[in-house]
Amino acid sequence: MAPSAISPIFVDVAEPIKDTLGLPPASRKRLEKAGIDLSQGYPYRPARPLYLQDVAKLRDHYREHKDPGARADPKKSSLFSAAEKIVDLTAHIGTEVVGLQLKDLTDQQKDELGLLIAERSVVFFRDQDITPQQQKELGEWYGEIEVHLTEIHEKPQAPQVPGLSGVSVIWPDLQATERKADFRNPGGASRWHTDLVHEKQPAGVTHLHNDTVPPIGGDTLWASGYSAYEKLSPDFRKIIDGKKAVYRSAHPYLDRNDPNAGPKYLERVHPLVRVHPATGWKALWVNRAMTVRIVGLDKAESDLILGYLYDVFERNVDIQVRFRWTPRTSALWDNRITIHNASWDYGGAYPRHGTRVTALAEEPFFDEHAPTRRQALGVAGSDE
């Protein structure tokens, strides 16, 4: 068993890095049971792309996306009848499915799960016996799997499960070796955000399976984009409907044409309010970490409106769900209609490890005739 703490390691640069961190026992057991080769080190850590231009060319083309939720039985009878019970965790967001194994879902149940995620924003499954390979296979049902490829490297740039391109490793102990974290500057994804907004066709469904979690702390929060939009007055919605915003990448890169200018973020323009293709409902789509400015407005105007929209998302606890993880739990959420935030309150005192697969979806679009969620469901006072 590898040591639990980081140990000094000296290797020739040509040799693979092997076990610089000790894998949590439950994580190691899951990976070995799945037949993952750990002999060359874990995780696989490729070189990251250096230049902005290489990242900008990545997937910079239209890809057809047919959302599985759009073809599902609206009653979700196959999925619901097979489950022991379906538990809505809050009125507006978050549902737990009890008694089903994700690896055993039929094609019809996968479609219905896609619709459930589109309606409830995030869906949870506890006590899952799922391998990284099965996790990737399920992810592919919901769209093209996101892999951090570049034209030069043609390999993933994020930590990956060895031999499984597109299955990312979420391991705060590893991230802490790259960026020191403490109470005042928490680690991990401990800020409100949504994933891959800089893509031409950004993220749809993400599946995070945590095989090791802290005994206390480490919750994840999600907020509903449907409900955030509905919190706005009808007149204010008219101000932002149809507007576009600039969204940036999570990481900066050098400009090959002007490397001395310093790191720059890749930016992409998308609608500020988007419509989900499976539900047809409008959702607010901004996040404090990666939404830069509203197109066509002065900076002061843009900052004022975006600041308010961030607050609507982040300060209304009735449109949020806070989930307490247990080992071997999967969460599947839709990045098109949510923002999320991982609490680092355990302070790195306990191990945490998981694997994540993200499916890319359609190019974001807006439809002025689309209803809100409350309007579509006939909720009283939906236009107040």
Catalytic residues: 193, 195, 340, 356
Q: Which residues of 113-144 are buried (b: 16+ CB within 10 A; e: fewer)?
A: bbbbbbbbbbbbbeebebbbbbbbebbeebbb
Query: Which amino acid does the sequence have at 227?
Result: S
Are the C-beta atoms of 338 and 323 separated by less than 8 Å?
no
CA terminus-to-terminus distance, the chain: 60
Distance CA(195)–CA(287), nearest Å, equals 10
CA 332 from centroid of its chain's CA atoms: 9
Return the closest-CA partner of residue 315 out of 335, 336, 278, 288.
Answer: 288
Chain position carrying tokens 């089903």: 100
Distance CA(93)–CA(189), nearest Å, equals 20
Quote the strand ranges of the chain, DSSP E: 85-88, 95-98, 122-125, 144-145, 168-170, 203-212, 220-224, 244-253, 264-271, 273-275, 282-284, 291-294, 320-323, 329-334, 338-342, 353-360
Strand-pairing partners, residue 98, are 85
Distance CA(85)–CA(72), nearest Å, equals 19
H-type alpha helices, the chain: 25-33, 52-57, 77-82, 107-120, 132-141, 172-176, 225-230, 234-240, 299-315, 373-377
CA 324 from centroid of its chain's CA atoms: 17
The pair of three-digit structure tokens given for residue 342, joined into one six-digit string? 């991982």
